[in-house]
Amino acid sequence: MPTVTVPKKLKPEIAKKLEDVCQGVFDLNESGAKVFRPRDCASLEWIRDGDYGVTLGRQTDYYIFTIESTGVLPSRELLKIAL
């Protein structure tokens, strides 16, 4: 799971660029910046390369996986069986 840390004080033009690049990921206002849904931004690597002051990292105790089924069993049942 990606982690994104945004500096507390951002210049207004940088905040605007972040909002434009990853819409709906950041909540940027006068009091600071918060990150919501970091997985929803496909441009996180592009942000790392820019002059935004954004720090990218990884949350190592979080796992993302998918379960695919042919439709015979629901995915919850497949997970129970697999575990």
Alpha-carbon separation of residue 10 from 14, 32, 42, 53, 73 (angstroms): 6, 8, 22, 9, 49
- Look at residue 30 in the predicted model and tell me its pLDDT: 62
Listed by start position, the domains of the chain span 1-83
- Look at residue 80 in the predicted model and tell me its pLDDT: 92
Of 26-30, 54-58, 67-71, 73-77, the one with minimum mean pLDDT is 26-30
pLDDT surpasses 70 at 44: no
Q: Please report, rounded to a whole number, the percentage of residues in the chain having pLDDT higher than 90.
A: 4
Two tokens at 25?
């990921």
- Look at residue 57 in the predicted model and tell me its pLDDT: 80
Average pLDDT of the chain is 76
